[in-house]
Amino acid sequence: MGKYDRFLKPVEEGRKQCTLCDHKFNKQQDSATNLYIHHFSKKHPSEYAHINGKREKSDDVLDQPLVKKMAQATIIESFQNFLPDGVKTEEGHRAITQFLCVTNQSLNMVNCQGFINMIKVISPKLVLKSRTHFTRYEVPKLYEEYERRLMMELRQVENIAISFDGWSDSSNKHECLGVLVHFVKDSKLNFRLIGVIDISHQSHTGIFLFEKIKHNLEHFGIEEKVKVIVRDGARNVVKAADQFRIPHYDCVAHKLHLATKIAIESFPGLLESLEKIRKICSKLNKSSTARREWNELHDLLEIPVLFLKKYTEDRGMSSSAIIPLCKVIIDDLESSKKFKTANKAMSEKLKTELEKYENNDFLVFGSILDPRFKVHRATRTGSGHPFSGRVTDVFGRPVHGGKLTEQ
């Protein structure tokens, strides 16, 4: 039986007919294989490829233009790529600069013998430049490249929120102001660091901070796109945010910290106990002998090793995620029968601070537009979602199931 017979059937006068298209083949004296090959390859290429164990070429492949293969680089061209101004040399130095910046390594690493040996093994032809070269040329060039890319990205964004905070080292010799932008891109929340501003040379007044932030926003051309500011509760920071004349509010995590601090102060003896614990931790960190004694005592008493469980891997949580949790915390504090004084102080502080968010029209309208608002337990006015009652005040209609009801 031939391999084409499963697509053929006998008809009159000893002829055969194709079962796919009903074409009749003339009777042949000898083998008709060549006749079948011609017919199936032209009329039924898919079946022909399957019969012969070949893969049929798709139309996409057939329509693609022929691409001429690049000729292999000559020996001279290969060596030229690794000259001081060659392509491979520039790519290698750029990759090294990215590694140093992303991993927060010292630029002096390029002078480290171990690093030099690694580069020689990975790319023997690459001539590694000195730390001075990376400081003067590579880092500024990479910074300018990423700055241009960030500017292009921010041009496509219509609405931006900013947040800023200060940082200082333990000696207070270095003080910086970090400015971040938050925006939605491809239906996802993104943030970018647009400035680390040196503020060591002048007092941190509200006007001074405002001018520094405003100059940073103008540099990226986004001063008109900023719609809201998230900040901490310091007076100078509040004054700086006031100068922008746009909505601004405190970081929710900062409010949790304040509520906890008030609860600790109202708990008799707790503040003194925490101070003693801090001193113990400080001594354990400074003395290796004390640390060994602590570990021996820890093993002797079989004290379990406990760690705080992370609620989220993301450092920056949105208000829509934290505020409902605050409501749950308040309910737990008010229903608990232990430590009533501390619990009452903490719950009252949280209520006072959360009222500021519930009275913020910017957050109210943001919650209405947030799809997650519709799945919260906002079935009765004043309960469930923290903004449900405020939505009623704004629109004059109650909220049921996250939707405004008709009057």
Per residue in 50-63, pLDDT tens?
777 655 444 444 44
Mean pLDDT of 369-394: 53
Angle (CA) 211-216-220 rounded to 5° is 145
| pLDDT at residue 340, rounded to an integer | 82
Per residue in 154-182, pLDDT tens?
999 999 999 998 888 777 788 899 999 99
Per residue in 17-73, pLDDT tens?
888 787 877 776 556 677 777 787 777 777 777 777 655 444 444 445 555 555 566
pLDDT band, residue 402 (cuts 50/70/90): very low
> What is the b/e burial string over 164-174, where b = at least 16 CB atoms within 10 angstroms of the residue's CB?
bbbeeeeeeee
pLDDT band, residue 1 (cuts 50/70/90): low
Nearest to 101 by CA among 142, 71, 64, 70: 142
| pLDDT at residue 98, rounded to an integer | 93
Mean pLDDT of 106-117: 92
Mean pLDDT of 214-235: 90
| pLDDT at residue 46, rounded to an integer | 75
Assess whether pLDDT exceeds 50 at residue 214: yes
Count of CB atoms situated within 10 Å of the CB of 89: 20
Judge whether 7 and 25 are in contact, CB under 8 Å: no
Assess whether pLDDT exceeds 50 at residue 103: yes
**Arithmetic mean of pLDDT over the chain:** 78
CATH class given for the domain over 159-250: alpha beta
Per residue in 254-291, pLDDT tens?
777 777 788 788 777 888 888 898 898 888 888 889 88
Mean pLDDT of 189-194: 89
Strands in 174-219 per DSSP E: 175-185, 188-198
Assess whether pLDDT exceeds 80 at residue 323: no
The whole-angstrom separation of Cα 392 and Cα 364 is: 10
The whole-angstrom separation of Cα 123 and Cα 300 is: 53
